[in-house]
Every structure is written in structure tokens, then in C-alpha cells.
Amino acid sequence: MKKFLWLLLLFSAFTFPEKGAAAENLQAVINSAKDGAVIKLENKIYTGNIVIDKPLTLVGKKGTVIEGDGKGNVISVRAPGVTVSNLDVRKSGMSRNSSEEYAAIKVYTDGNIIRNIWITQSFHGVYLSKAHNNTIENVRVKGLGKGEIAAQGNGLHVYYSNGNLLKNNYIEGTRDGMFFDYANDNKAIGNEITKTRYGLHYMYSDRNEFKNNIFTFNTGGAAIMHSSQLKLANNQFIFNYGHRSFGLLVLSANENKIENNTFYMNQRGLYIDQSTDNLIRSNRISQNQIGIELWASSNEQVFTENTIEENTIPAVALGGKGRNNWSKEGTGNYWGSTFPLLDLDQDGVGDSTAAYKSSLYELIEEQELVYLFLKSPAIKIYEKLNRLLDQEKVMFEDQYPLVDGRKQKSYLPFLIVTAVLITAIFAKRRKLLCILFGRNGRKI
């Protein structure tokens, strides 16, 4: 009986190792595993700073945690063809002064899959470093929050990495949600980013696609800088609000397509500066302080088929007048109640030009704090005084403004009835005049 109890005790010691032993065993298992092996982890805590240097699958389950020592990368992927999934990863190094920027998961190789990961207490969430054709999917990164934005890294950091897919990830409270630097031909689809500095921060990267992403409650929804030939489609930029905030900033970015996006309740919906030849089509720009802020350093933008309505200022041109087009091939934009237009021939285009004049451009150029007071009664009085003094300037002119066909249809019966009544009244009065004065106008 005593021998049985000793054996049971010994078996328990090996079956339920302590936290340190578990970590040592995990790295040992990785080191001894063959290429292509599947390592299944238990629902317990493993100590991190592990290195995966061969193609294998590391898969956890609910309650599986890999915890770093706060001094390096929790998981380093240094082989291609690795899959890491179903893990809670936390406590990377947080120092900004180290020779390497640390992350919960740092990937240095190609063709890997990082999926179903929950990341906390880490400098960067997932960092791709010269790593191509990887998939980052269903990763949730929780940062330190708004008060600590400057002291941490980004949710997903893509550095000199091409052809990657970032899909259905959720990022909150990091410095920037997704950061792209010298990274081309990547796709970001279905990600949700909130409460960061910039939901998307993007520099010196070309031919990337951003579709069906949601950017809310950030200082800036997305900042596209020094890049070209991007596609931004079906994204939502909602309530990115604060001093000098914006839904989307396009700075020194050329030949991009911005289509079917929603810009709703931002300080500025769309902010374009030093950019050329961008297509802005079929977007909804609504209830922002400024719908579109367009600097004169930007030329050859094309705005067409957009719905731009219920903004405090629909669009403002700053720094002079650039050469931009507010229509394409006879199709302009729909401006809502800002420009109530008639469409008597029912061709979907207003019968008159939509031209917006304002004197606020001078105030905005000289004093940034004006953004905070655009809804003030004093601003409205200022505009009215300048209108009386004829000191306004044309901000934009849409020669082919669109009208709402459903609303316009109601005008036609009204106009027909009005025309019939006028004709009838005129005919009746003409008959009466003929009776009184005769056909030649002399009274009988």
C-alpha cells in the first residue's frame, strides 16, 4: 500500500509540473520536435520567451497561457511554415530603449499563420519583421489604454513585409492599431480598431488593400502617408474626434482609390494634403464638423458619386485653390439639404451648379482652435457678416450635383398640377377679357 501511495505521488509530480518546469518542458519539446509536428498545450500557464525555429504547429486551448519575463519577445517565430493558435500571450519586454522592439509574437519568416490569439501587457502585439505571405487572423490585442499610448507599441506592426493578410483582428488602447512601414501588397480585411492614436498608420508602402475595417474613437482613424496605389473600400471611420482629429488623412499619397467608405461624426471626415490624382467615389461623408478639408497643395483629386450631407461645413479649401474635380464624366456628388436642387428633366443631375462659399478658411488657416467652435453662434454671425461684405470665397463648385431621385419624383406631379391650374386660370381670364374688351382689346 505504501509503495502504491509513493508511486501515485511521483506520478502527480510529473503530471502537474510547476510553472517554471512547464516552461522548460515547452522549449524542450519544441527543440526535440520533428518538422511538421503538432504540439498541443494544456490549459495552464507556460513561461515564455520561447523560440520556434522549425516548421510546426503550436496549439492551445481555453486557458492556455504563455507568459513572458517582461524582457524580450514572448514568442519568436524564426522558421517558415509555423502555425500558432488558441493562446493567451502576455508580458513582452516594454522598453523603448532596447536595440530591438519587443512583441508578444514576433515573426521573422514567411508563410506562417498566427490565429486566435489574445494579447495583453506587451509592447507590440504581433510584429512582422521582413516577413512575407503570413496570415494574422482573429488576434485580439489589448493595450495599456489612452493614458499610456506613448509608452507602448502598436497592435499589428508590419515592417518591410509584403503579401501578408491581416484579417478579423481586434485592437484596443495601443499606440497605433496597425502600422505599415515599407510594406507592399498586403491586405487588411475586417479588422476593428478603437481607442488608439491612429487606427491605421501607414508610411512608404504601396499597393495595399484595406476593406471592411472599422475605426472608432481614435485620435485619427487612418493616416495614409507617402504611399500610392492603395485601395480603401467599405471601411467605417466613425467618431474619431478631438483637436485636429480626422477620419482619414491622405498626405503625400497619390493614385489611390477611396471608395464606398463611411465617414461619420469625425472632427474632419476626409483630410487631403500634398496629394495628387486620388479617386474619391461613392463614399458617405456625414455629420462631421468638416466633411472634406482640401489643401491647395493637393491637385487632380476626383470626387464623384459621394453623399456629402449634414456636415457643419461640407468642404473647405485651404492655402489657396487647387485643381481638383468635383465630378467625373458628368456625374457629381449628392449634397443633401446643403443645396436643395431641382431636376426638372429627371436625369438625376441638378438643374443648377452646387457652389459653396465661405469666409472661414482664413480663420482655420490662422488658428487651429477654430475647429472646436465651428458650431458656435459666433461663427455663424461671422459668416453672415462676411457674406454681407462680399468677402467670401468659393470652396468648391460641383457642376453636376446629384439629386435624390425619390424626392425629385414628388416634384413632377406638383409641377404638372401647377401648370394645369395656371393654364386654366389664364384661359378663364383671357375669355373674360375678350368678353369685356373684345379680341382687339377695345371695350365693347
Domain ranges of the chain: 16-338, 412-444
Distance set, CA 241 to CA 93, 130, 250, 367 (Å)? 31, 34, 17, 18
Cell, residue 376: 458656435
Element containing residue 361 per DSSP (H, E)? helix 360-366
Query: CA quadruple 65, 71, 77, 79: dihedral positive or negative?
Result: negative
Q: What is the pTM of this model?
A: 0.84
CATH topology of domain 16-338: Pectate Lyase C-like (2.160.20)
Q: Give 10-residue mean pLDDT values along the chain (444 residues).
A: 46 38 73 96 94 98 96 97 98 88 97 98 97 98 85 96 98 97 98 97 97 97 97 97 88 97 96 96 96 92 96 89 91 92 90 85 66 67 66 84 64 47 53 48 44
How far, in Å, are 157, 244, 365 from residue 371 at the CA level? 31, 7, 10
| Separation CA 178–CA 126 (nearest Å) | 10
Q: How far apart are the C-alpha atoms of 211 and 234, rounded to whole Å?
A: 6
